[in-house]
Structure 1
């Protein structure tokens, strides 16, 4: 998977600049639908990918927040929790990435990202509910400077098995869905982190996962949101206090 891990960012250069502490707030609740994100946050990226895939670039405006120099007005005027992503829509602001991707899918036009099939819908609910536990399992050893744990291996093996449940496509439900969005932004980062910081290839011996990552890297709605791998690695090293 070195090739996938080494893909450069295709992110357009016309994205709005991130707003910091000296920036003026947008005219909140003026009828504009805004998605508040950070360009480097995997959770915000989930909502960003969902917006892109549904073709909502003209209906949902991106507002980037500089989390290292967060403007006070974001918490005071927009989203009291102060985290990203958040979505300003119909005079309300909603947050939490896994809730937001469902909300965007249900309340806006564009291709549906959850299936009508009952078995696939149930499996989707189960996998989306597991996403936070998966993220914790993969990040915990990195944060604690521990080796690759049994929990990491088990979590990766669980994804490999989940990717084999349906055989009508390379994604978790066969066809591309919210489940893929819930996991790919985390996988994008841990693939880089574990490869460089633990010499561990998360896709080795997991052909379903390897194919999944390869196919995700062909979906423009996702690739346009990707970070440069080395930039992501540098951010991680700073956060983890690794020289």
Structure 2
């Protein structure tokens, strides 16, 4: 065995090299973000299962067909927010805002696609899963990262985050939403605007007011997030609430 340790695949994938793999998933995105000039992100969460209106899936009768409008609205929102971010560059030349998604299909694809529609690049934090989630065709290769560890992927979702929007989704979307709310609630993440898109959906699946009535969360926690039902309404929410006062290194306490 004459391989250099850092070229030895058998070692690198073994249990002893776990810390090396974890550190790599921190250092590689950090280096690429610096190279590509990514300072701030707006994170788009939502179901990987929601198809576009162009998909063959929407031509068949299914509950997901009724949700396809969320794909189109996520795409339009991402286009609008990206165009707004481009207009800010003259005002804040040392900062920029880019869409960041999980890199997969569905709402994630819509987010990357909307940024592409606006003529800009976007970030994709893809996760390697048993069913092989592949990056969608609208990602930028230089800003697409494959993660083995969910917790390192979560770190990078929040590290540069200046705002988060959650479209309808399942376990993954709920996981990311509640983790973001918990980080802001506990002060582990500097306050950011959090938006739930589709008030009817979110009101039906989560009774936040009941949680407050039962004192499981405080009344103040109900102000950690807002609602929107159109791309333009969502754009205005972030235009009013996103702040860039923090430096790049102060945004997340990691």
**Range of TM-score over shorter length:** under 0.3
Q: Which has the higher strand share?
A: 2
Decide which structure has the larger Cα Rg and report it: 2
Give me the TM-score of the superposition, normalised by structure 1: 0.28
Higher relative CO (Cα under 8 Å, sequence separation at least 6) belongs to: 1
